[in-house]
Amino acid sequence: MSQAIHRVTHRRGRLLAALLAAGAALALVLAIYASTAEASGCTGSSKCIWFGSFFSGEEINAPCAGVTTTGSEFKSMKDNCGENMLIGWAEGGSTNWKACVAAGGGEAANPGRFNKIVPGGC
């Protein structure tokens, strides 16, 4: 009798582990889909920048031409312009460059905080 109980308990454990793994995989797929859906809302010829990582929070659209500097801290960007964009954190007269965002739909989902965007800088 104890062997039968052991087999049932072992099967329940495997079933529970499989359900947990499937749930984790589904959560990952939904998170990726949600971040892509947010970023796809950025259209037209502009630099789309978000206050949150992975295209979350408030979105601001800036013109493609010219350097964009702000006192705000942004955490993700999508480049719908015709040239690459260099992003960085400007403070005290120097800039810590974070990433080069490719032209025509390139994305920086989580490059770290930035407050300066330079067209064609990379």
Answer with the residue of higher pLDDT: 21 or 73.
73
Q: Where are the domains of the chain?
A: 1-40, 43-122
Q: Phi and psi of 82, rounded to 5°?
A: -90, 5
**43-122 placed in CATH 2.60.20:** yes
pLDDT of 16 higher than 50 = yes
What integer best gives the mean pLDDT of the chain?
79
Query: What DSSP string runs through 51-101?
Result: EEGGGEEEEEEE-SSS-EEEEEEE-EEEE-SSS-EEEEEEETTEEEEEEEE
Answer with the residue of higher pLDDT: 16 or 106.
106
Q: Taking the mean position of all CA atoms in its chain, how far away is CA 108? A: 6
User: pTM for the whole thing?
Assistant: 0.64
Two structure tokens written together for 14: 């495997």
Residue written as token pair 């984790």: 24
